[in-house]
Amino acid sequence: MREQALALVDQGKFDSARLVIDRCRELAREQRIQATRMEAELLADDARIAHLQLAYRTAATRYAEAAALAALIDKGAEWRFLNSQAAELIKEGEQFGRMKPS
């Protein structure tokens, strides 16, 4: 499509070239969003595996990474990942935290 737009420029059809470029950018944006969403979900899957292995800090880190990616595209997903991160940190404290006797 980019070559098509450049060919239109060479023909002096600037408005048509801009329409093609706009469409290319839209497609690129959609692909970027899908790739970001998939990477965030893969990080969350990795977090779930870490949780099953009782590696709560690792799970929390993966959820934080997923949240950072999701923040770019989906605030609801970002919030869910942050809540999952918090749950993992709580679980870490419950399982492995040490409290000093008073």
Q: What is the pLDDT of residues 22-60, one digit of tens each?
A: 999 999 999 999 999 999 999 999 999 999 999 999 999
Q: How many domains does the chain have?
A: 1
Give the pLDDT score at 8: 92
When pLDDT is cut at 50, 70 and 90, the band that residue 96 belongs to is confident
Q: Which residues contact 78 (CB under 8 A, 6 or more apart)?
A: 67, 70, 71
Could you list the residue range(s) of the whole structural domain that residue 14 is in?
2-96
Residue 102 lies inside a defined structural domain of this protein: no
Residue 37 lies in a domain: yes
- Alpha-carbon dihedral 47, 50, 54, 58, rounded to 10 degrees: -70
pTM: 0.81
> By percentage, how much of the chain surpasses pLDDT 70?
95
